[in-house]
């Protein structure tokens, strides 16, 4: 996916590392703390990932961000070899396209 910055890849990397899912989304404050960025800047950057349907948002109390699977549904984190999850996001987090 062209047009993604290093910040986008780092956001995806944190979501993968933290095993973000619809049931357990990661808040912008937590992403910001992990990346040493302001939560408002994280929210701004996540919009690009949402436009690409790589990241979804759960609103309300307990809400946050999570990876989307290929169908655009929130995927629970599954370790490699134990099911499927958004390989596009993993490739992006590792610097691929």
Q: What one-character-per-residue DSSP string does 20-69 give?
A: --SSS-B-HHHHHHHHT--HHHHHHHHHHHHHTTSEEEE-STT-EEEEB-
Q: What is the rounded average pLDDT of the residues 38-58? A: 94
State the pLDDT at residue 84.
45
List, in order, residues 6 or more apart from 10 with CB less than 8 Å away: 35
Q: What's the number of domains the chain is made of? A: 1
Name the token pair of 55.
């990241």
CATH number of the CATH domain containing 32: 1.10.10.10
Predicted model pTM: 0.74
Residue 45 sits in which domain range?
A: 6-93
Q: Which residue has the higher pLDDT, 70 or 33?
A: 33
> What separation in angstroms does the CA of 72 have from each of 41, 50, 57, 66, 68?
24, 10, 11, 11, 5
Say if 39 falls within a structural domain. Answer: yes
Q: What's the mean per-residue pLDDT of the chain?
A: 80
Say if 28 falls within a structural domain. Answer: yes
Say if 1 falls within a structural domain. Answer: no
Categorize the per-residue pLDDT at 74 as very low, low, confident or very high, splitting at 50, 70 and 90: low
């Amino acid at each position: 996916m062209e047009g993604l910055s290093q910040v986008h890849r780092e956001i995806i990397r944190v979501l993968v590392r933290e095993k973000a899912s619809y049931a357990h989304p990661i808040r912008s404050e937590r992403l910001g703390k992990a990346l040493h960025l302001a939560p408002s800047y994280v929210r701004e950057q996540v919009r690009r990932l949402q436009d690409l349907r790589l990241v979804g948002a759960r609103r309300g109390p307990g809400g946050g961000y999570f990876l989307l699977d290929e169908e655009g549904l929130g995927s629970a984190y599954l370790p490699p070899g134990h099911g499927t999850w958004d390989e596009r996001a993993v490739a992006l987090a590792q610097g691929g396209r």
